[in-house]
Amino acid sequence: MVSFIPNISALWSLLRNNSLIQNSFYLILSSGLTSALGLIFWIFAARFFTSNDVGIGSASISIMMFLSILSLFGLNFSVIRFLPKTEEKERMINTFLTLIIFSSIIFTILGIVAIINWVPDFDFLEENPAYIILFVCFTIIWSIKSIYASTFISARLSRFVLWQEVIFGILKIVFLPILIIWGGFGIFGAWGIGAAISILCSFFLLNKVISDYKPRIRLDIPTIRRSIRFSFWNNAATILGSTPKMLLPTIIVILVSPETAAYFYMAWTITGVLNTTSLQISNSLFAEGIHENEKIRKNIIHAIYLTNAIIIPAVLILLIFSEFILGLFGENYSSNSIPLLRLLALACIPHAMNLMYFSIQRIKGEMKIVTFCYALLATSMIGPSIPLLIGMGIEGVGIAWLASNLLVLGTILFLNRHTICPFVCQMIKWYPVRLR
């Protein structure tokens, strides 16, 4: 008899013996705890700060993250790809950190100049130079945090990512009420200070990956040359993939209002829990593919099983309890964001499928197709979302996000129509009959 109830003993056996499941478990647990702490953070922010402040704070965080992605040059993926196979681990990490520190300074200064000139609601940056210095420092810190997390993932020590994220999640909540006098920038400041302390703690964990690690300024040309091609395409793909979610809060601030941006960002944050879970599983699959390429087919099946077993029930919960969940942030958020939340929740399913495919292509080194798909996602999202935002409000942005993910998934199926059928059959199953 066919049973669609997951085999608990089989799951436990995989958790103990399968490194993909172990790392995915820690990454998912990390994402889950981080997301839970993040929701608490935003609930407190929504309760203690005005909607205008929440809009400014969420837009500031999104801009900082986007500038960090620009500064990384895809080196966080190169860490996962190349660190396990190099003897000079300290040289590689220090070279990458040196590059991203200098690039973060340059990109953030350019970004702040653009913000001051194009976003009137951010005039507080021009009025207080201390805010500009903090913005630069927090962008550097977020970039370093990404490199540290990739280092732990590459060594299959994802439990350290868990500790890094838990420390960050707790501390940003602690500093939130302290910085309420800064208004919207106080939300951003609490986020940045929490990240700063978390990477200080993570620094001591690096010795588990690199014995007697010592940070120093270093630019090793052979290391850069070896990773530059892979990093370039990963960076292009990451920038394109991050453009919609990182820039949309700022676009909404400019075209509508900071309050509307706050309503959008809360719904986006809730579904971000599911999207981050899918991303962490796909990152774990990528790391496993580098270590054990011969087991890639089996690892793909396990990753698909894990993704669908989490995402599909979670989407159903969001669809049913969307009003209650948004009500935790306040009545205004519940009344303004329910349709958007449901649209974003539905988009989590095709988005998870796309991320899984991207990880498989990264393992194969086929970054051009990943970049193409991310470019398609960004253009098909940003282009229609602007007129839809003006005409329909934030629900139009949800429609654009769902449609763009379905478009990318359809493109993937068409491009791989002769070889992807077994893959798709596994993807669309909620639960397989049993795990072997």
Query: How far, in Å, CA of 298 to CA of 305, rounded?
Result: 11
Helix (H, G, I), strand (E, B) or coil at 109: helix
**CA contacts within 13 A on the Cβ side of 69:** 20
Whether residue 436 has pLDDT greater than 60: no
Q: Of 19-33, 53-67, 261-275, 349-363, which gets the smallest average pLDDT?
A: 19-33
Q: What pLDDT is recorded for position 106?
A: 95
Task: Specify the range with the lowest mean pLDDT, choosing from 27-41, 44-58, 265-279, 391-405.
Answer: 27-41
Give per-residue pLDDT as tens, 104-158. Answer: 999 999 999 988 888 877 877 877 888 899 999 999 999 999 898 888 877 777 6
DSSP 210: S
pLDDT value for 59: 87
Average pLDDT over residues 381-399: 91
Give the closest residue to 187 by CA, choosing from 341, 47, 327, 332: 47
Which pLDDT belongs to residue 2?
38
Q: How confident is the model at residue 10 (pLDDT cuts 50, 70, 90)?
A: low
Rounded average pLDDT over 293-320: 80
Distance CA 69, CA 391 (A): 31
| Cα 310 to Cα 88, 202, 433, distances in angstroms | 38, 28, 16
Q: Maximum CA pair distance of the chain?
A: 70
How many CB atoms lie under 10 A from the CB of residue 232?
15
Q: Give the pLDDT score at 3.
A: 40
pLDDT band for position 426 (50/70/90)? very low
- What are the DSSP calls for 57-106, one per residue? HHHHHHHHHHHHHHHHTTHHHHHHHHGGG-S-HHHHHHHHHHHHHHHHHH
Between 273 and 319, the more confident residue is: 319
- Give the mean pLDDT of the chain: 81
Which residue, chain included where needed, has tokens 């971000």?
272
What's the pLDDT band for 427 if we cut at 50, 70, 90? very low
Return the higher-pLDDT residue of 324 and 20: 324
Q: For position 429, what pLDDT does the model report?
A: 44
Split at pLDDT 50, 70, 90, the class of 434 is very low
- Ordered alpha helix ranges (H), 73-220: 75-82, 89-118, 123-127, 129-154, 158-178, 184-205
Q: Among the listed ranges 68-82, 116-130, 365-379, 418-432, which one has the minimum average pLDDT value? A: 418-432
Percent of the chain with pLDDT over 70: 85
Average pLDDT for 364-391:
87
Task: Tell me 5's DSSP state.
Answer: S
Least confident interval from 9-13, 80-84, 113-117, 334-338: 9-13
- Please give the residue that has the higher pLDDT: either 150 or 159: 150
Choose between 205 and 336: higher pLDDT.
336
